[in-house]
Chains A and B, each alone.
Chain A
Amino acid sequence: MTDQEFRQKIERAADWKTSGIQENPWLTQRVLTKIKEGERPMKKKLAFMPVLVFAIVAICAVALAATQLGLIATTADQYQHQDANHAANVQVPELSIQPESDEAAAAQAKTAVSDINAEVAAIAKAYIDQFKTALDKNDYQDTIVEYEVLNETERYFTLRLMCYTASASGAETDYYYTIDLQTGKRLALADLFKPDSDYLSAIAGSIAEQMKAQTAANPENTFWLDDEEMPDFDLAEMVKDADFFVNAQNEVVISFDEGDVAPMSSGVVQFTIPADVLADIRVAL
């Protein structure tokens, strides 16, 4: 077989195999929409930052009155860079205990606060290091690390760290850190439930229902659930690894990173578990 025949065989076979693939005539519009969707919340968040400090103080004051433990998040460090090929905006938060806090509660929260501060700083440093490496190589890189306080209940203080990086591909990862304002301890998902309750299955069951409903409503909303290529996909195990927080209605919200339960293009995917699903196994507030 000559080189020419070799090439022809490969070319013809590959052309045949991919001949059923259709181009998307709306791809440009979809890409522009995605880019605009990505830009919108960023702008909103940045504009929101100056008032965020006041919001935190106000919310913490409420928490302080009810629990005697007040927490505040401030920007401990930041890193910014922008040129034609690179953009970085990294805000590193630091939690601190309000001096007016009850002494015993503050002592209990000390460990949780210090652990969370160390973790957040390490994550931010990793993103900055990755960005600087790309800068040295002059590879395209876009990095954003921002934070906000989701202190939506009197019982829990939640810090959200949003990390986005784009080089050859973009990925968003969110981290949620919750401190129980009554105990001063860092909250684990299991702490929300009675001992020995099968909360993972209950949560996974509710999420599976929501996924099916979303797919039925719009077939473009796909999830790895029941994907025949993934017979070992275990939603309860994914819930165990996922981030979570408690919203203003005291509902548990599970947050999956990009690609964990749905295509990467779906971004971070969150599910709110209805209160009645978990009513029998939740620990009373």
Chain B
Amino acid sequence: MEIVTGPDNSQNIEEELNRLVAEYQKTLLHMCSFWLKDAMQAEDAVQEVYIKAYKALPGFRHECSEKTWVLRIAANVCRDMQKSRWSRFVNRNVDIANLPEPAYEMAEHDDEVIQAIQALPAKYSEIILLHFWQYMSLTEIAVILNTSLSTVSRRLTNAKKRLRIQLEEGKP
């Protein structure tokens, strides 16, 4: 058995954690809210993401961007939360009812756009949001969702097609 223990750099890691929280908390809360359709659960998820990130920080090799890295952790945390036993009781095909009231008045059609995104299968809506809202490239999305680039590309094409039809013609 090989035991390798890194140097005690917990002070630096805490500073890094602080910076990651300042930089990505909002993004993570937003994406987790869409994944889980519940703001309170999203808060739990984000806390969990940072616990994982803190533990994994010493080994993070910057092979992808930090944003990609934390979003990948978040996608897995949310997936695990959805897989947990209690979620069998929850109807996940619901409106994002448990998000706080928006802070400002919606512009024309905002609500329809949200409903159209929600009406998509989850595998499509997450790619739409990651690409068009979070400005993630297809390669980055493949890392976040732990899938292949070709799958992401195919899903994005299908998702765009379906969403365009809904937005332009109001058809499913």
Contact = CB atoms under 8 A, between A and B. Distances in A.
Interface centre among B5, B89, B111 (most CB of A within 10 A): B89
Contacts of B73: 168-169
A85 B111 CA distance: 43
B104 A16 contact: yes
Contact of B77 (A83, A142, A169): A169
Interface in B1-28: 1-6, 14, 17-18, 21, 25-26
Contacts of B6: 84
B21 A27 contact: yes
Interface residues of B, number: 75
Contacts of B86: 224, 230, 233, 259-261
Contacts of A171: 80
- Summarize B's interface: helix, strand, loop or mixed: helix
A82 interface: yes
22 contacts: A1-B168, A6-B164, A16-B110, A16-B114, A17-B110, A17-B114, A18-B33, A23-B29, A31-B50, A35-B51, A35-B54, A168-B52, A168-B76, A169-B48, A170-B51, A222-B40, A224-B86, A259-B86, A259-B87, A261-B86, A264-B81, A265-B44
B3 A80 contact: yes
B48 A170 contact: yes
B99 interface: yes
A14 B133 contact: yes
A232 B17 contact: no
Given A20-B102, A80-B3, A140 B52 contact: yes
Contacts, number: 186
A6 B168 CA distance: 10
Contacts of A43: none
A249 interface: no
Contacts of A35: 51, 54-55
Contacts of B164: 1, 6
B84 A168 contact: no
B141 interface: no
Contacts of B2: 81, 83
A10 interface: yes
B117 A19 contact: no
B39 A21 contact: yes
Contact of B4 (A14, A24, A84): A84
A28 interface: yes
A13 B52 contact: no
B46 interface: yes
A46 interface: no
Contacts of A30: 47
Contacts of B59: 84-85, 140
Nearest to B146: A168
B101 A20 contact: yes
A251 to B, nearest CB: 25
A83 B38 CA distance: 36
A45 interface: no
B47 to A, nearest CB: 6
A171 B2 CA distance: 25
A166 B94 contact: no
Contacts of A22: 100
A16 B106 contact: yes
Contacts of A259: 81, 84-87
A27 B3 contact: no
A168 B45 CA distance: 11
Nearest to B128: A10
Nearest to A224: B86
Interface centre among B46, B102, B164 (most CB of A within 10 A): B102
